[in-house]
Amino acid sequence: MRDVAVIGVGCTEFGEHWGTSFRDLFVKAGALALEDAGVTGERIDALYVGNMSAGRFVEQEHIGALIADYAGLATNNTPSTRVEAACASGGLAFRQAVIAVASGMEDIVVAAGVEKMTDVGTGASVDMLASAADREWEGFAGATFPGLYAMIANDYMHRYPLTREQLAQVAVKNHENGAKNPIAQFRNRITVDTVLNSSLVADPLRLFDCSPITDGAAAVVVVPLERAREFTDSPVRVLASAQASDTIALHDRRDISTLDASVAAGKRAFAQARLTHKDIDMLEVHDCFTIAEICAIEDLGFCKKGEAGRLTADGATALDGEIPVNTSGGLKACGHPVGATGIKQIYEIVSQLRGEAAGRQVDAEIGMAHNVGGTGATVVVHILGA
């Protein structure tokens, strides 16, 4: 196996892009990544595109070919593959690109993620997102995606000392970071009261506990480490790429408020990179809901079960904390175009490790990305190092 490095990254602004189509979003992110990498399109060996549900959001399937075409690569007949694992589609696309390069099959590979969610109404997108869980046995009973995470939150709060205020601090901290990120959907600061006074979506989760509906795309370029210096003076190494599965339905989990796939993928990543928690300087975790960030920090082993709420309230996960979490603003404030999120996490870590994160810059040499599909049926974890 060959070592792999990221040589370029690009990301659109996240938000409601009414004037921009699905394919234009992707083209923009792809062009930014290639420009950053100093690579021209005809040199690309392959594309891997994370996308959850263009079929239902914009009634378009066959995304791989569409994207290769509009990226100007149809005349080169460049292979392009869509990768889907619900909200973990982006992380998984990155992993496929890493595997392709590590194996020696391909040299210059683009991993991208794109989602255009605002072309459908809220009711339709609620229904759509529920398909990341078990349609037949959760969705049929009336489970929404926030509803499933709300059941995780209630189970968690019944068993561990997490207060409603501590949970709100996750959103407050992520908005604080989002306010410093020029691509973030929300750049406004909020308070605990903003969260506690927002409307209930699924008890105990309120509107400000939930990540928004977002349009956006992100892309990165990976090459064998031995070739990285041909393109850049600041390559970022992929130190680990791990993935794990669990039951599709929340009700079948061993433990409702532990994502065993996060635990497994985290352990595999640490073993691959031969690193321990002390070596990680920053984390981008999958905070689709505030409770998800609490679970992620614990399930990845950064503290014991039941402690992440207090850590958050104490500021340990803030930009100037012991272990900054979601410096991008996370899914909550940066936005969550589902298929693009996992690639945006890589974009954020690379930006931080290269010292290009401006107002939200942290002192980091090694970062970890954690991307979740559904309520934890797929988890993808990457460790990157400067």
Partner 1 sequence: MSVSRFWRKIPQRYNLVGTQCTTCGRHFFPPRSLCPDCRRSGNIVDHKYTGEGTVVTYTVIRSASDQFEHTTPYALAVVELDEGPRLTTQIACPIEDVAIGMRVKSVFRRVAADGESGTIHYGTKFVPVE
Contact between 338 and partner 1 (CB under 8 A)?
no
Contact between 251 and partner 1 (CB under 8 A)?
yes
**Minimal distance in Å, beta carbon 140 to partner 1?**
7
* C-alpha to C-alpha distance for 326 and 110, rounded to whole angstroms: 24
Residue among 339, 42, 318 nearest 178 (CA): 318
**260 C-beta neighbours (distance < 10 Å), count:** 17
Contact between 295 and partner 1 (CB under 8 A)?
no
Q: Give me the residue label for tokens 């239902």.
A: 56
Contact between 158 and partner 1 (CB under 8 A)?
yes
CB nearer to partner 1: pick between 147 and 178: 147
**Residue 107: DSSP 8-state:** S
Find out whether 212 and 190 touch, Cβ atoms under 8 Å: no
Residue 127 tokens read as: 């229904």
Binding span for partner 1 by CB under 8 A among 50-58, 76-84, 152-160, 233-241: 152-160
**Minimal distance in Å, beta carbon 304 to partner 1?**
21
Contact between 140 and partner 1 (CB under 8 A)?
yes
DSSP-based three-state secondary structure for 220: strand
**367 C-beta neighbours (distance < 10 Å), count:** 28
Residue among 211, 25, 48, 187 nearest 125 (CA): 211
- Given candidates 74, 124, 271, 358, which one binds partner 1 under the rule CB under 8 A? 124
Binding span for partner 1 by CB under 8 A among 60-68, 150-158, 232-240, 324-332: 150-158
* Active site (annotated) includes residue 370: no
Q: Contact letters (x/-) for partner 1, 193-222, by CB under 8 A?
A: ------xxxxxxx-----------------
DSSP-based three-state secondary structure for 38: coil
* C-alpha to C-alpha distance for 378 and 339, rounded to whole angstroms: 13
**Residue 356: DSSP 8-state:** -
Contact between 256 and partner 1 (CB under 8 A)?
yes
* Active site (annotated) includes residue 336: yes
* Number of chain residues interacting with partner 1 (CB under 8 A): 35
Contact between 138 and partner 1 (CB under 8 A)?
yes
Q: Which of 11, 87, 210, 303 is catalytic?
A: 87
- Given candidates 81, 154, 234, 361, which one binds partner 1 under the rule CB under 8 A? 154
Q: Give yes or no for a cis peptide into 337 (omega within 30° of 0).
A: no
Residue among 165, 217, 233 nearest 54 (CA): 217
Contact between 49 and partner 1 (CB under 8 A)?
no
Contact between 151 and partner 1 (CB under 8 A)?
yes
Q: Which of 17, 286, 336, 382 is catalytic?
A: 336
Residue 60 tokens read as: 């378009």
Contacting residues toward partner 1, per CB under 8 A: 123-124, 126-127, 130, 134, 136-138, 140-144, 146-147, 150-155, 158, 199-205, 249-252, 256
Q: Which residues are catalytic?
A: 87, 336
